[in-house]
Structures are given as C-alpha cells and as structure tokens.
Amino acid sequence: MKYVIAAAMLASAVVGFSEAASAMQGCGPGWYRGPYGGCRPMAGRPPVVVVAPAPAPVVVVRPRVCPYGFRWWGGRCRPI
C-alpha cells in the first residue's frame, strides 16, 4: 500500500511540474511559442508595455569661494 501511495504522489508531482513548464515555454506570462519558435502574445490579453522612468534632475552645487586671505573651515570663511 505504501508503494501505491508513493507512486501516485510521484505521478501527480511530475504531471504538475510538466504543465507549468509547458504553459510558460520560456516566453513569460501572457506569451506562447509560435510555429517558428518566436514568442507571441496570447489572444485576449494586450501586450505588456514597459515605460522607462523619467531621468533625474541634475543638481549643480556652487563651490564655496572665500575672499583673499580667508579659507573655508568649520562651515564658514575664516581668516588665515
């Protein structure tokens, strides 16, 4: 009886994994392999559109310039 249960569990596991692999076929969700091996969208689902994010704004920091005879130290211009 143990062998029958073990064989049934093994058979159900093999069938379960083979169905998932054949559904995806390496193309991703919503796509399938066509007759010549290319990925095609499934009927009834629109293709997924990926939009690139907007570029980040460029921030330019002005350098601190102290007058002649001073230097930047401790968060402010100090005499040398």
Position 29 in a domain: yes
Position 50 in a domain: no
| Residue 79 neighbours by CB under 8 Å, 6+ apart | 69, 70
Position 26 in a domain: yes
**Predicted local confidence at residue 47, as pLDDT:** 64
Position 65 in a domain: no
Position 67 in a domain: no
Count: domains in the chain: 1
Quote the domain boundaries for residue 25. 1-44
Average pLDDT over every residue of 65-77: 87
CA distance 37 to 24: 13
Note the pLDDT tens digit of each residue in 36-61: 888 888 876 666 778 889 999 998 88
Position 28 in a domain: yes
Percent of the chain having pLDDT more than 90?
2
Position 68 in a domain: no
Helices (H) and strands (E) in the chain, counts: 1, 4
